[in-house]
Chains A and B, each alone.
Chain A
Amino acid sequence: MLYEIRRFFLARDVLEVETPLLGHCIGTDPQLAFFSTDYCSPPLQQTLFLQTSPEFAMKRLLAAGSGSIYQICKAFRNGESGRFHNPEFTLLEWYRVDFTLSQLMDEIDDLITVLFAGRMPLQATQRVSYQDVFYQYTGLNPLVFSYQEYCAYALAHEIPEAVSICGDDHPLWLDFIFSHKVQPFLGENALCMVYGYPACQSSLARINEYNSQITDRVEIFINGIELGNGFYELCDAIEQNRRFDDEIAIRQQRNLPVSIKDKHLIAALEAGLPECSGIAIGLDRLLMVLSKRDLIDDVLSFAIHRA
């Protein structure tokens, strides 16, 4: 699989890069917990962080004029362990300069086709908008939050606990309903790409230029398993800085460990990140699908409890 990925990008003139796993800064996303470690070089003593994704470092390379790049590396997310999660895992992350999200989706499709050819036949790729697919499985509109309608749905569909867990938190409702009632049905023996996520779930994606309710973000699924997440990347330093500050505020509210905003990234965005789209794909999960395994442990040499 790794060989074919490298050959795929070599043929397309995408440069393989390597960026630090250990850094001074860390993502602010309140949903991602990080590992921190102590750097000792007396008299210097510093806290360094294991990266939750190579995204920021790779964007700095892009801003420095690297052109399209890809990386296969480890990423670390604290507390994530389960059938589909291991706190240390392998990511394939790539960025394409001057690609729109739909061009990137074409390339994702090509790569998946190459990797699955001769191993596991896939049906035709599906492309659906978040709004359509959410409505199709639930009858709800994900872009407009209606507390009554969401509650009525939860009560009628055997997830009454959603009401007390989610309250009036719209993104939380979407996470709950999508992961329980939509995602399991996505991409039966096929690649399914869901695009146009609601703006409240934008993360590092750009807001769609024609519809401010949605964001240029794509997620890919096969057999109900989330494999990757891509964006038409946010290039606006001011907007990025604002989102960092918002997320840091949320971290404070929830008493989460303090994260340090990556000033280098803001500086890189200020200097000018080229228009680009990028995606990260979990290679362990991709291997699970390819080898028809139910547990991430089955495709790792040693999962965390044995590492």
Chain B
Amino acid sequence: MAVYSTNEFKAGLKVMLDNDPCAIIENEFVKPGKGQAFNRVKIRNLKTGRVIERTFKSGESLEGADVVDVAMQYLYNDGQFRHFMVPDTFEQYQTDEKVVGDAGKWLKDQDSCTVTLWNDSPLAVTPANFVELAIVETDPGVRGDTSGGGGKPATLETGAVVRVPLFVQQGEVIKVDTRTGEYISRVKE
């Protein structure tokens, strides 16, 4: 794998740090006029999602990490593992809940999503920005309610709970932004 020096640390670059794959978020050159040059780097550990700051002497280098984002189709959950497939090659990957994390509550069978692979094994799963899911349970709305006002919780077919306007009924399909967990609109079947 390629080796990258501090000058090449750019946002998005994937490197190995303390044996974990990490993504560079920010890299700031710090140099006192008469002193040693450093690079103050903000970096996300891709395994844990934690963001840390780490300083390097300018010119130091890190090994690149073999991390790629691959568009996949979510197949099914066998109770222990979740299964994904690369549509072009039919290659399949399985992961446990720890890797899937929060993304799990947005994944419906056959939906597409992004799986981050590290050395060809799944590291993280990112759902599509917008998903369309059916409401399996919510309180009945009262006639005359409009989009104004509070809203109510609704449980979706994948188990996620989102706040929806009062007029939205059980059985309807809604569009949700997975980044914020917010209701966007109803979807006409």
Residues of A within 8 A of B (CB): 29, 31, 79-85, 158-159, 161-162, 165, 171-172, 174-176, 178-180, 183, 201, 203, 219, 226, 228-229, 282
B contact residues around A226 at 8 Å (CB):
32-33
Alpha-carbon distance between A82 and B31 when the two chains are bound, in angstroms:
9
A contact residues around B33 at 8 Å (CB):
219, 226, 228-229, 282
Could you write out 8 A-B pairs with CB less than 8 Å apart?
A171-B36, A179-B30, A179-B31, A179-B35, A179-B38, A180-B30, A201-B35, A228-B33
B contact residues around A174 at 8 Å (CB):
35
Whole-angstrom distance between the Cβ of B129 and the nearest chain A Cβ: 29
A84 and B34 form a contact (CB under 8 A): no
A158 and B53 form a contact (CB under 8 A): yes
B contact residues around A29 at 8 Å (CB):
34
Alpha-carbon distance between A218 and B64 when the two chains are bound, in angstroms:
41
Chain B 27-51 per-residue mask, 1 if CB under 8 angstroms from chain A, else 0: 0111111111110100000000000
Q: How many A-B residue pairs have CB under 8 A?
A: 64
Additional 12 contacts, C-beta under 8 A, given A85-B31, A228-B33: A29-B34, A31-B35, A80-B29, A161-B54, A165-B56, A171-B35, A171-B36, A176-B36, A179-B32, A180-B55, A201-B34, A226-B33
Alpha-carbon distance between A178 and B38 when the two chains are bound, in angstroms:
12
A contact residues around B163 at 8 Å (CB):
none
Whole-angstrom distance between the Cβ of A114 and the nearest chain B Cβ: 23
Looking at A158, A176, A178, A203, the one whose CB has the most chain B CB atoms below 10 A away is A176
A180 and B40 form a contact (CB under 8 A): yes
Q: Which 5 A-B pairs have the closest CB atoms?
A: A82-B29, A175-B35, A175-B36, A203-B34, A229-B33
A contact residues around B57 at 8 Å (CB):
165
Alpha-carbon distance between A116 and B156 when the two chains are bound, in angstroms:
59
B contact residues around A165 at 8 Å (CB):
55-57
A176 and B31 form a contact (CB under 8 A): no
A contact residues around B32 at 8 Å (CB):
175, 178-179, 183, 226
Alpha-carbon distance between A159 and B55 when the two chains are bound, in angstroms:
8
Alpha-carbon distance between A161 and B36 when the two chains are bound, in angstroms:
15
Whole-angstrom distance between the Cβ of B138 and the nearest chain A Cβ: 45
Whole-angstrom distance between the Cβ of B7 and the nearest chain A Cβ: 8
Alpha-carbon distance between A31 and B30 when the two chains are bound, in angstroms:
13
B29 and A81 form a contact (CB under 8 A): yes
B contact residues around A83 at 8 Å (CB):
28-29
A161 and B29 form a contact (CB under 8 A): no
Alpha-carbon distance between A83 and B38 when the two chains are bound, in angstroms:
13
